[in-house]
Structure 1
Amino acid sequence: MKKLVCLIGFLITLAACGKADQSYIPSVAVNFQAPLTDPRLSRLNAVGGAVTVAGGVSGIVIYRASATNYVAFDRCSSYQPEKRCAVTIDDTGLTATDPCSGSKFLLSDGSPVKAPATRSLRTYSVSVNNVSIFVYN
């Protein structure tokens, strides 16, 4: 009987360990590169400009935070990321909205500013030289 109880406990432990955390944006390889003169990036010519490009889980948002600082986030909302809802840049250019839940995120750092989201968007590294912009992880 003891052996049976131990076996059942062991099997329950194994089953619980196999469950993946579905509560955050999946990690995927990102390696976006484009010349700064690319017409898709024209809004990045000014501080506060933001664009969306292909890549990541649901696309990538690139935001020009200052004259020398750019940030990039996955467009996949951090609220119920399994739905893969892509945030859209608001008209203000300061926030992005998840069309599925109504959550809002600051473009300056990806943090949530309107519920129900409580986690920030997935951040990617950005590097810029005089010719190109690179977004990667």
Structure 2
Amino acid sequence: MKKLLLLLIIPLAFLSCGKSGDVVPSVPVNFQASLTDPRLAALNASGGYVVITGYGVAGLILYRTPDRRYVAYDRCSSYQPQKKCAVTVDESGFTATDPCSGSKFSLSDGLPVKAPATKSLRSYYVTTNSFEIYVSN
């Protein structure tokens, strides 16, 4: 019985070892800005977003969710991240699209909503006080 169980477990272990290299690289992010900065004015309203360049792999998207939280994502698509394709926010302001693959991602939680992407956008920690927003990892 033990041999049979072992024969079943070993192949499953090999099958579960998938390709793990297909992830957005982890790079240091330390962004800080005043919430009164006119460039961040769009974050005053739910559904507002701002694109920040020069941080992360392909830049950042800061987004104000409908429940008034701030979230931050790397613009690098999670589908074939080695291409460093930067997602762009759609006209609706609720999703972002990878122009290389056509994948779409929800800005509320970063989850893919249209294939071929199966992984979320890389998210970052966001903290705020009355005056500033901080984004880090």
Q: Do both share a fold (TM > 0.5)? A: yes
Pairing 1:39-78 to 2, within 5 Å after superposition? 39-54=38-53, 55-66=55-66, 68-78=68-78
State the partner residue of 2:106. 106
Are the equivalent residues in 2 in contact too, given 1:59–1:74 (CA < 8 A)?
yes
State the partner residue of 1:24. 23
**Equivalent residue letter for 2:36:** T
Which consecutive residues of structure 2, in runs of 5 or more, have no partner in the other structure?
Answer: 1-18
% identity of equivalent residues: 63
1:66 Cα offset (Å): 4.1
- Kindly provide the CA deviation profile for residues 66-107 of structure 1, in whole angstroms up to 9, marking residues without a partner as x: 464111110000000000000001110000000110100000
In 1, the alpha carbon distance for the partners of 2:32 and 2:88 equals 21
CA RMSD of aligned residues (A): 1.3
**Equivalent residue letter for 1:92:** S
Which consecutive residues of structure 1, in runs of 5 or more, have no partner in the other structure?
Answer: 1-19
1:38 Cα offset (Å): 1.4
State the partner residue of 1:5. none
TM-score scaled by structure 2? Answer: 0.82
In 1, the alpha carbon distance for the partners of 2:28 and 2:20 equals 19
In the TM superposition, structure 1's runs of 4+ consecutive aligned residues that sit over 2 Å from their partners are none
- Kindly provide the CA deviation profile for residues 16-68 of structure 1, in whole angstroms up to 9, marking residues without a partner as x: xxxx9430100000000000111221110101111110210000111111464
Are the equivalent residues in 2 in contact too, given 1:22–1:82 (CA < 8 A)?
no
State the partner residue of 1:134. 134
TM-score scaled by structure 1? Answer: 0.82
